[in-house]
Amino acid sequence: MGKKLLLIGQGGREHALAWKLAQSPEIEALYVAPGNPGIAAIAECISIGVNEIESLLEFARSQRIDLTVVGPEAPLMEGIVDRFREAGLKIFGPTTAASRLEGSKVFAKNLLKKYGIPTADYTVCERLDMAYASARTYTEQGKAVVIKADGLAAGKGVTVAANWEEASQAIDSMMKDKSFGQAGERLLVEECLLGEEVSFFAICDGKDYISLLAAQDHKRVFDNDQGPNTGGMGAYVNPPVFDQELQRQVIKNIIEPVIKAMAEEGCPYQGVLYAGLMITAEGPKVLEFNARFGDPETQVLMPMIKGDILPVLEAAASGKLGELQLEIEEGSCVAVILASAGYPGDYEKGKIIKGLDRLEPDTLVFHAGTSRKDENLVTAGGRVLAVVCRGQDMRAARDKVYQEVKKIEFDGMHYRQDIGIKAMQHEV
C-alpha cells in the first residue's frame, strides 16, 4: 500500500508542490484542498477551504492521510499544525508559535535583535504619533524609510517611502484607515537597506536543516521595478550575487542562529524557513521571514530538485532530518507570471485562456488564478498562470520561457518582460 497525502492550498505554489509530490513512487493518493483546475489534472481536488481546519482534520482522519503539507500562511497562523498534532496526525509546517516568524514582524525583529542576527535598525510603534516621529528621523535626513504592518497583509503590508509625504500616507493608511485591519495596529518603522534582494530557503526539523536554493522574486507589477507591489510577477533561481561564500555567510550568520534561537525560545521551527534577505555592503541582512514556501519562488524551486521530495518533508515533520539531503539540478529555471488587466488593483474574471495546447512538452504551467466555465479554462484571479522553463543557463531558460509565453493569450493579459535581466547583467 502506498501513502496518502493531503496538500492544502489552491495557488501556483501548491500546483508546483503537487506536481513535484505526484512524482513520488511512494504515493498512492494525492488530495489537494481546495486545489484548482491545473492541480485537478494530477491530483484529486477536495472542496474544503484552507481555513476550514476542523473539516480538513476530519478529512485527513477519514482518509487515513499519512502526511499533510500546508501551502499558505493563513492556516499555519490559525493553528492547523497544532490541531493536527494533537490528533496524532503527521503534518509538515510550523506551529502557531513558530509561525510568528512570519505572522508578527515585531516578534521576528525582536528575536533577531535578541540573538544578534543581522537586520535593519527599527522601532516598534503602537501609536500614530510614535510612528510619525520615528519616520521623521529618517526623512528629515533625506533618507527613505520602510513602514511595515506587524501582521499578515497578503504580501502587501510593506511600503518603502522615499519622503515624509509617502511615509505619512503609509502610516495613516495602516493605523488610521485600518487598510490591513488588525495587522496594522502595530507598525515597524525601519531603516531602508540598500542592496540586492534574495530569497533563501531551507527545510527544518526543529534542530537540523537542509539548504535548498536561493531565488529572486520580482514584486513590482511593471518592468524595471516600476508600479505597485504585487504577490510576485516572476522569479528565477541561483541569482549570481548569491555565490557560495555568500551562502556560507547566510547559513552561518542567519539560518543556523535562527533555528537555534527558535528552539531556545521554546518554539522549535519545523517546516520551510524562507529568509527574505538584502545583500548589503556590510553583508546579508534579514528583511523578513516567511513560514512557508514562497510564491512564485516555489514554481522555480521544485523543477530544480532531483528525485523525491516526500522523504524530506516526512522527516522534517517527524523531527528526523538527520543526514538526509536533496540533490539539485544543474542550470537555471525562470518563471514568468501572466496577470489579469488591472492587477494588483481591480480586475475582471472569466477571460478565456488560449494557447496552452501549443506549448513545448517540457514547459511547465502552474495555475494560480483559473477556473472552468463550460468547456473553457478562464481567468479567476489577479495572477493567472506561471510559465516555467529550465535551461542550461539563465539566458537559455529566459529565452525559452518568453518564447512560450507568446503562445498564450487571454483578454488583458500582461506580464513583465524583464524577468532575469538582472542576473544576465551580472554574467556579462
pLDDT of 232 over the 70 cut: yes
Question: What is the structure's pLDDT at 428?
Answer: 47
As a whole number of angstroms, the distance between CA 284 and CA 26 comes to: 39
Q: Which residues have a Cβ under 8 Å from the Cβ of 245 and sit 6 or more positions away? A: none
Are 286 and 276 in contact by the 8 Å Cβ rule? The answer is yes
- Going by C-alpha positions, the residue among 301, 274, 276 that lies closest to residue 286 is 276
Task: Give the C-alpha distances (Å, rounded to integers) separating 343 from 55, 74, 83, 149, 412.
Answer: 32, 22, 35, 22, 10
What average pLDDT does this structure show over 171-193? Answer: 88
As a whole number of angstroms, the distance between CA 85 and CA 68 comes to: 11
Task: Please give the CATH topology (third level) of the domain spanning 3-96.
Answer: Rossmann fold (3.40.50)
* CATH for 196-318 (2.40.110.10, 3.40.50.150, 3.30.470.20, 3.40.50.720): 3.30.470.20
What average pLDDT does this structure show over 130-135? Answer: 92
Tell whether domain 332-427 is in CATH 2.60.260.20: no
Question: What is the structure's pLDDT at 427?
Answer: 57
Indicate whether this model's pTM tops 0.85: yes
Question: What is the structure's pLDDT at 152?
Answer: 78
Are 302 and 313 in contact by the 8 Å Cβ rule? The answer is no
Q: Which cell numbers in the block locate residue 75?
A: 492556516
Strand 3-9 versus strand 27-34 pairing type:
parallel
Question: What is the structure's pLDDT at 235?
Answer: 97
Helix, strand or coil, per DSSP, at residue 292: coil
Question: What is the structure's pLDDT at 155?
Answer: 65
The percent of residues above 70 in pLDDT, for the chain, comes to 99
What average pLDDT does this structure show over 371-391? Answer: 96
pLDDT of 399 over the 90 cut: yes
As a whole number of angstroms, the distance between CA 11 and CA 39 comes to: 9
As a whole number of angstroms, the distance between CA 163 and CA 144 comes to: 6
What is the Cα 362 distance to its own chain's centre? 24
Q: What share of the chain is helix, strand, coil (3-state, %, to 5)?
A: 35, 30, 35
What average pLDDT does this structure show over 205-211? Answer: 95
What average pLDDT does this structure show over 254-268? Answer: 97
Backbone angles phi, psi at 239, to 5 degrees: -60, 135
What average pLDDT does this structure show over 189-215? Answer: 95
What average pLDDT does this structure show over 26-47? Answer: 97
pLDDT of 84 over the 90 cut: yes
The percent of residues above 90 in pLDDT, for the chain, comes to 87
Phi-psi region of 90 (alpha: psi -120 to 50; beta: other; left: phi over 0): beta
As a whole number of angstroms, the distance between CA 261 and CA 234 comes to: 32
What average pLDDT does this structure show over 88-110? Answer: 95
350-370 pLDDT, tens digit each: 999 999 999 999 999 999 999
Work out the pLDDT band at 1, boundaries 50, 70, 90: confident
Amino acid at 86: E
pLDDT of 398 over the 70 cut: yes
Question: What is the structure's pLDDT at 253?
Answer: 97
Per-domain boundaries in the chain: 3-96, 127-185, 196-318, 332-427
What average pLDDT does this structure show over 198-208? Answer: 96
CATH architecture group of domain 127-185: 2-Layer Sandwich (3.30)
